[in-house]
Structure 1
Amino acid sequence: MGFETITVERNGRLAIVSLNRPQSMNAMDGVMLNELANCFEALQNESTIQVLILKGSGKVFSAGGDIKAMLGTGGEVSFDIEEVMANISRMVKALYSLPMVTIAAVHGSAAGLGFSLALATDIILVEEDSKIAMNFIGIGLIPDGAGHFFMKERLGVPKAQQMIWAGEVLNGSAAKKLGLVDEVVENGTAVEQAGQLAQKLLHSPLVAMIETKKILHTQKQAELSNILEMEAETQTRMRKTVDHLEGIKSFVEKRPANFEGK
């Protein structure tokens, strides 16, 4: 299967999926979302793959959704939001339920939808100076990509709510202290460290580990689906608000936003 915006490498029981839009900081446009969904769905049937590494090409893991692609030449929203949200849901469900141990190797930044994607993996490695943020609030939106689900799972409801509202940018150590990520590694070593962890896992009783994942994740599938549906419905409404249009315009124009609460 050929892809335009991602690459897939297979090495025995290990697969490496790379986000490959480095010129756009691996921001996820409609093509990448569809390709990631197709890739993870196809991997559901790869019985020989037991470990997967998810990484970004270039300087960052992923800057999130492609905000510039949200605006047409006249400043209007220029994409099919329902199609986008459907592909996000496909992508997250398929990644979360993969019958393998998944590792995110984060460098540079993982923001917004990019961080939701990392959170959908089993183990998150982050470089010390990486910028980690669930920063949808900055453009007048709620998290998508099941950001609500994953933040709640790792932090509990009160703290997840506070973090989502704040949209704070964290470095690796701060993210680990909160429990948002699993390991902090030296700058420039995330992919290498993920590879070493993968090799350690490949010499572990992976069949038993994957069965444990299946038992635990299966219990959460209905909740994950419900949250994705609610996010899709709410995000569609939020993208029609005055605050959202102001948020993305201010982002593109590199100026402070003037939100009005409507």
Structure 2
Amino acid sequence: MYETIELTKQGRTGYLKLNRPQAMNAMNGKMMKELGDCFESLHQEDSLQVLILHGEGRAFSAGGDIKEMMDPDNPMDIDHVMQDVTRLAKALYTLPQITIASINGAAAGLAFSMALACDHVIAEENSKLAMNFIGIGLVPDGGGHFFMKERVGVPKAKQLIWSGQILKAHDALAKGLIEEVTAEGRAMEFAEAYASQSLQSPIRAKLASKQILHQSKTEELAKVLEMEAAAQSAMRKSSDHLEGIQAFVEKRKPVFKGN
């Protein structure tokens, strides 16, 4: 059904796997569209009460696919892509399931926004977590501003977004960005334990509380996503963004000039 992701179901638990391991599950246009489609379809899945998000191979996801961004023959249509990013963030945040992010390796950029949108985030101790859009002259998308602010407040969200700092799992836990840290290779085991614990609890009451808390915020999220899309479109045309991705590819320090 999908080319870049895989959805499987076991009883009341769903597993959504990011499945481009050859590219560290980097999110190309196709994956963003498929994630939007999948999250929207899960709103009709009454039989599922828990969803575990994870990545195939050695990373959760390296974030947006920079190679596709730079492809001169088939350049990424940023405005079209942002429509899918908006869809996936809205649909994920309002899912009628308890969502668990199981992170190994990297969770960067859009993938980190997506993880932060989940109800419970588990990361292996050596994983690298980064809201690192600033390094290529972009702003967070996928609701990154909203989810960061929800978890740590505006002042800390600004500092984290502006620094683009790569955090180890224990740093992210100390800052309140994630809920659990595990040893290497054990994130999925802990995710399944949390899923099992959730399913043995009064989960309908938990899901009702989730809906009450999230429903009051969906209008704000929609506004943030609209502003992110407009800002991202503008930043994609900036000289600093072009310099940022060029420097990334050439593995050198970028020289930004503020335009």
State whether TM-score is above 0.5.
Answer: yes
Q: Given the two structures, how large is their TM-score scaled by the length of structure 1?
A: 0.97
- Give the aligned residue type for 2:254: A
Which residue is 2:206 aligned to?
209
What displacement does 1:253 show?
Answer: 1.5
Q: Which runs of 5+ in 1 are unaligned?
A: none
SS in 2 for 1:63: coil
Paired position in structure 1 for 2:91: 94
SS in 2 for 1:154: helix
User: Does structure 1 residue 233 correspond to structure 2 residue 233?
Assistant: no
Which residues of 2 match residues 16-95 of structure 1 at below 5 A? 16-73=15-72, 78-95=75-92
| DSSP-derived class of the 1:170 partner | strand
RMSD (Å), alpha carbons: 0.9
Select the residue among 148, 168, 171 that pairs with 2:145.
Answer: 148
Q: Which residue of the partner structure matches residue 10 of structure 1?
A: 9
Query: Quick one: percent identity of the two aligned structures?
Result: 54
The 3-state SS of whatever aligns with 2:102 is: strand
Corresponding residue SS for 1:49: coil
Displacement over 2 Å in runs of 4+: none
The one-letter code of the counterpart of 1:7 is E
Deviations 1:50-100 (A, max 9, x none): 0000000000001000011101248xx811111100000000100110001
> What's the CA shift string for 1:209-238, capped at 9, x where partnerless?
000000000000000000000000000000
Q: Deviations over 1:108-129 (max 9, x none)?
A: 0101111001011100001101
Gap regions ≥5 residues in structure 2: none
SS in 1 for 2:7: strand
Q: 1:216, 1:66 → 2: CA distance? A: 33
Q: Alpha-carbon deviation of 1:9?
A: 0.7
Q: 2:125 aligns with which of 115, 123, 128?
A: 128
Q: Shift of the alpha carbon at 1:192?
A: 1.2
Q: How many residues align?
A: 259
Distance in 2 separating the partners of 1:72 and 1:51: 37
Which whole-Å CA distance do the structure 1 matches of 2:72 and 2:233 have between them?
21
User: CA separation in 2, counterparts of 1:213 and 1:36?
Assistant: 21
Distance 2:93 2:4 in 1: 21
Are 1:180 and 2:177 an aligned pair?
A: yes
Partner SS for 2:112: helix
Once residues 29 and 143 of structure 1 are traced to their aligned partners in structure 2, the CA distance between those partners, rounded to angstroms, is 16
Give the 3-state SS of the residue equivalent to 2:45 in structure 1.
coil
Distance 2:90 2:255 in 1: 35
Q: 1:232 is matched by which residue type in structure 2?
A: A
Query: Structure 1 residue 255: deviation in Å?
Result: 1.3
Letter in 2 for 1:12: G
> Shift in Å at residue 256 of structure 1?
1.1
User: Separation in 2 of the partners of 1:85 and 1:173?
Assistant: 31
DSSP-derived class of the 1:28 partner: coil
